[in-house]
Homo-oligomer: A and B are copies of this chain.
């Protein structure tokens, strides 16, 4: 990564899983890098597609790794979706979300009677046929479909596990209507996060371990994309059509540039 890049960049979006921690282990130097950003006065947000936890739970998880953050520095897919919905007047909303993630939707009118929107994230083991049929009928009844993300699967203690994406495409197939995806790599997500930072997109860098979702998604929304060699990074990512604006070994190396 060139020093020139970070001279133009004045704010950061930082992915969580694979960048700050990996398999429930913190990445060495992650806590120090975040402290350094804070000390130097760079605005930043943690930008994650995690949809099973509210921002309060994510803050506690990070604190467990010695990474101290404020709740309003966490910009997850549920937070982005709640922000989007609050911008749509006073919508009635049906949530296909864990109880924990539902906390980020406080203040919105949550209902299963003629909602304006059906919002779906990863429900883990809580997803079932009764809930999916209810959502299906509400969508047929005219509700708009918001997907927090369309990730295919992720790694849990049980092994590779279905994420929200398969259930989103199930309802898309049943209804014939595509969902509006709010999480990464949707431009909506990056725009909402940049609005939250109050900085022009071209001066914001997204730091992530996914060449497609983090780097490609950020670049399509007019941000810079910096790839780390931790998490799901593989050397073949560097042969992708997507060219990162910078590549660093880990988040710890950000300290050399800021």
| Chain A residues engaging chain B, CB cutoff 8 angstroms | 123-130, 132-133, 136-137, 140, 152-153, 158-163, 165-167, 169-171, 173-174, 176
Contact = CB atoms under 8 A, between A and B. Distances in A.
B166 A152 contact: no
13 contacts: A124-B129, A125-B129, A125-B130, A127-B128, A128-B129, A133-B158, A136-B160, A163-B174, A166-B171, A166-B173, A166-B174, A169-B169, A169-B170
B166 A170 contact: yes
A230 B160 CA distance: 46
Q: Which of A124, A158, A162, A171 has the most CB of B within 10 A?
A: A162
A152 B174 contact: yes
A153 B129 contact: no
A170 to B, nearest CB: 4
Contacts of A163: 174
When A and B form their complex, which 7 residue pairs have the shortest distance between CB atoms, in order from nearest?
A166-B170, A170-B170, A166-B174, A169-B173, A125-B129, A152-B174, A127-B129
Copy tally for this chain in the complex stands at: 2
A8 to B, nearest CB: 38
A160 B137 CA distance: 7
Contacts of A170: 162, 166-167, 169-170
A99 to B, nearest CB: 15
Given A132-B166, A165-B174, A167-B170, 8 more contacts: A124-B129, A128-B128, A132-B162, A133-B158, A136-B162, A152-B173, A166-B170, A166-B174
Nearest to A176: B152
Contacts of A133: 158, 161-162
Contacts of A127: 128-129
A78 B167 CA distance: 24
A137 B166 contact: no
A22 to B, nearest CB: 21
Nearest to A156: B133
B174 A129 contact: no
